[in-house]
Chains A and B, each alone.
Chain A
Amino acid sequence: MQFPILSVIVFTPMAAAMLILLIKSERKNEIRVTALAAASLALLLSLWVYFSYDKAAAGYQFVEKYNWMPMLGISLHLGVDGMSAPLVLLTGVVMFTGSLHFGVDGMSAPLVLLTGVVMFTGVLISWGLDDRPREFFAFLFILASGVFGVFASLDLFMLFFFYEIAVFPMYLLISIWGWIKTREYAAMKLTLYLFIGSVVSLIGALVMYWQSGLHTFDMLALEQAAFSPGFQKLWFPFVFFGFAVLGGIFPFHNWSPDGHVAAPTAVSMFHAGVLMKLGAFAALRVGIMLLPEGAKSWSWLIMGLALVNIVYGAFIAMVQTDFKYVIGFSSVSHMGLVMMGFSTLTRVGLTGAGVQMFSHGVMTALFFAAVGMVYDRAHTRDIPRLGGMVKPMPLVAVAFIIGGLVSMGMPGFSGFVAEFPIFMGIWQVRPLVAIIAAISIIVTAAYIMLVIRRVFFGSMPAEFEGHIGPVAVQDKVALVFLCVIMIGLGLFPSLMVPWVQTGVQHLLSLLGGA
């Protein structure tokens, strides 16, 4: 049997969380070192998975399957009852107990890597956190376990299981360590939105379970279930939009900017960088892959809503005066592009969406890290009151500008590799939509440049003179690491595109295309 690398990745953060909880809360440095060690391990393992994924073979790899002790159910029952007749009845029920079934394909491998990256940089960024770091890292790592679990799960039941595990720690992280003014409100709103979304999808998943007649939550089997078109059309919206809530789709995007703003820096990075991908990914994996006919007949709606996301999000970002809200709404806008890529259901569009999930994750993590660094020193995020930050923290300014270039989709950066195919995909399907969506590129450029000018350049207000200290080494490491990824991916698209393409190939075969 091969080394169970995916289970190790999924459970490393969980084990680290337990370990951290065992350390005395006063020993803050030991806690941080443990956290960093665990995050580095997760990053290395996810790098290893990513680069040893065999693109030629494609399909699901590193597959592991453990039956979640269904045999125990049967044997226990036999021991108790001693009759064999009810066994026939039993088979239908025992299957229900689900199984731990992991595997990655070309779509999820980059996302596993992304989670590793964000987890690693998130720990670096939160190095200076002083209020109860033990609990902070423990909750953050439980969340990370949930995220890894969703990306790697091939069992629908376990996907939900991990999905919920990823959602709840968010509440605590935001409400305890968040921005005091809105944290309570934002945390509650976020949790309720996401819970509503997930339970609506859960109903859809249970209906699929019974309708398929296969008595399994195994998604590989459900992919082949061939649900009737009518069924697919009826249930697709439930499943897809339930998950898309977490992906920030309009009109259910409302929780996300509030949540981003209220969350502490590392949590914002996780939230926008990884958690929103979780929603998009689950919508793809469960919605589009299991109900392809439904996806075809509802793609117009997804496209319409995503268009609103893209354009409206960009305009709203433009008028914000709070630095963090600008980034929050830019996330809404960029996640719209991911959804838009899904809705094209074409090879280029889906490939672009897959890359965009990764690229946006890295970019937005960088943005939030930079915002957090500015806020920690200036103690305000009000854009008109900021200025001249380039002098005391040049590296942050450079990193933010690189992030901005990615955000605008400049060639040579990962944003271009992601967004160009998406627009190409839309153009193939609906040229008019592509034209409207393209407005967002201009608006994005406008607000990014405005923010850069107002925050980092110009004259520094007198109140900040001499109060803005330099950034710490670990912050610099995190920023440089994120920048290198974005530039590397921009210059060498072949580091990611072939992976995504194998995933898209599988998707298209489910959709009945080539």
Chain B
Amino acid sequence: MTAFVPSNILAILPEILLLSLGVLVLVLDPFWKEENRRLNLGWLTAGGLLVVLAVSLALARPSAPVLVFGGMLRYDLLGFAFKMLFIFGAAITALFMMDVEQVGRRAEAYLLLLVAALGMSLMASAADLVMLYLAIETTSIPLYILAGFLTGDERSTESGFKYLLFGALTSAVMLYGFSLLYGFSGETSLYALAASFPTFSLLALGTIFLVLVGLSFKVSLFPFHFWAPDVYEGAPTPVAGFLSTASKAAGFAVILRLFTVVFPSLSANWSLILAVLATLTMTVGNLIALAQKNIKRLLAYSSIAHAGYAMIGVVAFSQLGAASTVFYLIAYILTNLAAFGIVTAFGHVAGSDDVKAYYGLSRRAPTLALMMMVAFLSLAGMPPFGGFVAKVFVFAAAIEQGWVWLAVVGVLNSIIGLYYYMTVLKYVYLYRMEGEEEEKHPIPLSRPYAIALTVLTIGIIAVGVIFAPWFGIATGAAMNLF
């Protein structure tokens, strides 16, 4: 733990840039005319985030892992890789937000998005309990507001309020767990805490449970998953997409770091707990998704199930396991953002989120339908899309460490998943609109959607076919843990 060194600034360069961008958005907003706001704000945020991404990639890549700012943050590839993911996710979400009523024109929405991304970035690199908690709250509070952003809409209000209540409750329990960790060890640094838990103790196990409550909520792990469908359904769709991808990935970044760094001695115990939770999460998510009639709820349950798959890599507690989780999240973020983006674009024109509303989409908008097929097949785990390779990696990691049964559970679940994803595609490709010419009801894509969805579709295929470089990054990130 060293004193402040100017070069440490690089460790928080992405965060500094994010904050500057937020301030810029807020300052410029009053100068713009009402009718220009939507375009200006959206392009400024998305473009600014791209610049942040590029500058960070050019200047702030970490070398050897090092603790900075008095041990508050760890400047390593794990955190950095996740930060880049969050910034990318936020940029795409900003593009999706532009056309949403009551959201796209308001600078606060973009500011809140940027602050949430800032919080997530800090979560990914936090190396101290205090920092970690602050980062989690910095992420959560903007997201509570964003979920309830449509003030005139009852469901959105309900969504925001529900998210806030559950979030506050679980976060309080987690904070209690943190206080116990501090109480037993007298340390707040994650990297110093491990020494206080050299062997198994019931107290440590109890603390793990308490901490796990808060983190399970973040990644929607069973039994703290039930907020997700209600919140996703009511929240503005791009926000739901952001919640289900970047926010979830941030939770996983914390879980990976916390469990491997603080509790390596108890790995046998928490691995089993997480394995059981992953099993339940996958199974519950997939089974309930089967019965959904609303596409946003269906995607919500599917995203619960995906948290279970990603957890398999954590359970494996190995370098390959951590790498496979990171890789899974990369593929999943691309895929699920695309899925929610398509739902946003479709809902914007058709005004419905009912699965039945997707009748004849392949004739109404062939390109959109093709993108939807790519996204849903990737979710189902079909090659040549990212989801296939990602699933193979997590299952491989599980089998390497002898968790064959968990891999079998995952495989069986992916069959259930395939069924309901295909059911949606059936509406898109097979059924026709009754008594109407589909060609007369096109789904025009505005430019932001066209750009974002094209990028995501290419990304899904790129991750699925040329997976080595992505896997190289994931492995590099995982090596910072072991």
Contact = CB atoms under 8 A, between A and B. Distances in A.
Interface in B391-443: 392-393, 395-396, 399-400, 404, 407-408, 411, 414-415, 418-419, 422, 426, 429-430
A155 to B, nearest CB: 13
B120 interface: no
Interface in A35-88: 68-70, 72-74, 76-77, 80-83, 86
B404 A73 contact: no
Contacts of A82: 63-64
A94 B478 CA distance: 13
B64 A83 contact: yes
16 contacts: A76-B469, A80-B473, A83-B64, A90-B479, A93-B471, A93-B475, A96-B471, A172-B429, A176-B429, A184-B426, A188-B419, A192-B415, A200-B411, A203-B395, A203-B404, A207-B404
A206 B399 contact: yes
A97 B61 contact: no
Given A176-B429, A184-B430, A195 B407 contact: no
Contact of A73 (B77, B320, B395, B475): B475
Given A83-B64, A93-B323, A207-B404, A77 B476 contact: yes
A177 to B, nearest CB: 11
A168 B411 CA distance: 17
Nearest to A99: B468
B466 interface: yes
B426 A192 contact: no
A479 B400 CA distance: 51
A75 to B, nearest CB: 8
Given A76-B469, A97-B467, A192-B415, 5 more contacts: A80-B77, A81-B77, A89-B482, A207-B404, A209-B399
Contacts of A68: 466-468
A67 to B, nearest CB: 9
Interface of B is mostly: helix
Interface string A204-239: 001101100000000000000000000000000000
Contact of B418 (A89, A184, A191): A191
Interface of A is mostly: helix
A210 B400 contact: yes
Contacts of B395: 202-203, 206
Contact of A69 (B63, B77, B377, B469): B469
Nearest to A163: B383
B223 interface: no
A323 interface: no
B70 interface: no
Nearest to A188: B422
Contacts of B422: 171, 188, 191
A400 interface: no
Contact of B472 (A77, A160, A203): A77
B482 to A, nearest CB: 7
Given A94-B475, A206-B399, A192 B383 contact: no
A161 interface: yes
Contacts of B382: 164, 168
Given A73-B471, A90-B479, A192-B418, A161 B411 contact: no
A94 to B, nearest CB: 7
A167 to B, nearest CB: 8
Contacts of B309: none
A93 B319 contact: yes
Interchain residue pairs A-B with the least CB separation, the first 8: A73-B472, A69-B468, A199-B411, A97-B468, A77-B476, A206-B399, A86-B479, A76-B472
A210 B399 contact: yes
B178 interface: no
Contacts of A69: 466, 468-469
Given A89-B482, A202-B395, A165 B472 contact: no
Interface residues of B, number: 42
Nearest to B320: A93
Nearest to B464: A161
A96 B396 contact: yes
Contacts of B418: 191-192, 195
Contacts of A93: 319-320, 323, 471, 475
B358 interface: no
Interface residues of A, number: 44
B283 to A, nearest CB: 16
A175 B479 contact: no
A196 interface: yes
A157 interface: yes
A172 B430 CA distance: 9
A69 B473 CA distance: 13
A80 B472 CA distance: 10
A171 B320 CA distance: 34
Given A68-B468, A76-B469, A93-B475, A206 B396 contact: yes
A191 B420 CA distance: 12
Contacts of A94: 472, 475
A206 B392 CA distance: 9
Given A73-B472, A81-B479, A175-B430, A192 B411 contact: no
A93 B399 CA distance: 14
Contacts of A210: 396, 399-400
Most buried by B among A80, A168, A202: A80
Contacts of A83: 64
Contacts of A97: 467-468, 471
B363 to A, nearest CB: 10
A204 B399 CA distance: 10
Contacts of A161: 383-384, 388
A203 B407 contact: yes
A205 to B, nearest CB: 9
A72 B469 contact: yes
Contacts of B467: 68, 97
Nearest to B395: A206
Contact of B469 (A73, A195, A196, A207): A73
B62 interface: yes
Contacts of B426: 175, 184, 188
